Chains A and B, each alone.
Chain A
């Protein structure tokens, strides 16, 4: 076998990078499990009482009340459960980004703290833009 010359470019994974992996993995798994359970309960309850639902944005937005969602979850309203699951699902990647920023900060890897913070800022900007633009 001829000796093959290879360029060493990347460092071995540090223990903290392992922490980033572990943290990201836990966030993804938790978000997936909890939202799936909520969706499953919501669908099962909805199937018990088949009903008509209007397919309009106005009808959907009519349910955006924190108190209604809270009451609905306690009473087992399928719509409230599925809404909570949806919100949780949307927040999972946001939580993942926040976790990553924290893990990179612990490692003092400022380049990646900056990169990941830009991603978080774009997410926040989207929420603000949606909130202001669509009222």
Chain B
């Protein structure tokens, strides 16, 4: 691979855009940067996944620190769920070492499709729930009560403090484990799974879920990165532009994010997911079964 201006600067640019979108949508840049590296730069899937998982740490640091600074993140909830995401990341990254690249591309496409679906199915609920004060009315379950996992945050878009009670610890932990597997296997943060688990099943407001998920993503991605680093899959010249670009993009994206309502974001998010899922499907089917379907670039 020739490390030219062309390659490095384009990769830096693509990663910046991926990091920006990732931060805006509350997902790690990995969801965009892995398809960009595989489809746009023709890099091997495992090199792309490994570079992405390191850049996901960078995104998490950049995005996560801003949420922590604004006290949107729920640290205790994050640390509770991290037990399950890190265990999942260990399982997933070990799996990634042994799976064929075409199979990983197909799994990636399936994950993108699920995320597009998740974006549509959770659309539009949050603003109404905040307005009705629903987040404060729920009952904690035994474990979340024992660990006192509730909180308050300042929502700039709604212009008020939002208080919330956390419950659903069992299903939250289960989904966190699956999100960890996705993170280790596919080089993404698994943020969408974590955010939807917290928002839908644990009664956590969307922005708190996003900020908390960012924090967990860093630790989760570190587990995958450690294993890939040992395996020699983290290629420094690829990871450089990718990590720097996503950091810059995520920093800008996060400052914009808390000023936006969540609704418009989800539409943009779903459309992009579908487009990238199709691309990965084309690539995976071609490599695994020699099935050719038309590619729209």
Binding site for B on A (CB under 8 A): 4, 6-7, 9-11, 13, 17, 20-21, 24-25, 28-29, 31-32, 35-36, 39-40, 42-43, 46-47, 50-61, 63-64, 78-79, 82-83, 85-87, 89-94, 96-97, 100, 111-112, 115-116, 118-119, 122-123, 125-127, 129-131, 134
Chain A CB within 10 Å, residue with most, of B1, B12, B230: B230
Which residues of chain B have C-beta atoms less than 8 A from A97's C-beta? 82, 219
Interface string of B141-172 (1 = CB under 8 A from A): 00001111111100000000001010000000
| Main DSSP-derived SS at the A contact region | helix
Query: What total count of A-B pairs have CB within 8 Å?
Result: 206
| A46 & B3 in contact (Cβ 8 Å cutoff) | yes
B102 within 8 A of partner (CB):
no
Partner of A11, one of B2, B69, B148: B148
Q: Taking the nearest CB of chain B, how far is it from the CB of A15, in angstroms?
A: 14
Of the residues B8, B44, B236, contact of A79 by C-beta under 8 Å: B236
Per DSSP, chain B at the interface is helix
Task: Verify if B237 is at the interface (C-beta below 8 Å from A).
Answer: yes
B218–A52 touching, CB < 8 Å? no
Whether B47 sits at the interface, judged by CB under 8 Å, is: yes
Contact B79 A93 (CB under 8 A): no
Interfacial residues of chain B within 201-254, with CB under 8 A of chain A in the complex: 215, 218-219, 221-223, 225-227, 229-237, 239-241, 243-244, 247-248
Contact of B54 with A by CB under 8 A: yes
Are B2 and A20 in touch, CB under 8 angstroms?
no
Q: By CB atoms of chain A within 10 A, which of B47, B163, B239, B240 has the most?
A: B240
A25-B65, A28-B68, A52-B1 known; A79-B237 Cβ under 8 A: yes
Q: Mark B87-102, 1 if CB is under 8 A from A, else 0.
A: 1011001100000000
Evaluate whether A86 and B236 lie within 8 angstroms (CB atoms) in the complex, with A43-B8, A134-B230 already known.
Answer: yes
- Among the listed stretches B27-35, B122-130, B131-139, which one makes contact with chain A, having 4 or more residues with CB under 8 Å of it? B131-139
Q: What are 10 residue pairs bridging A and B, where the CB atoms are less than 8 Å apart in the complex?
A: A6-B137, A21-B71, A21-B75, A46-B3, A47-B5, A55-B43, A90-B54, A91-B222, A96-B219, A115-B83
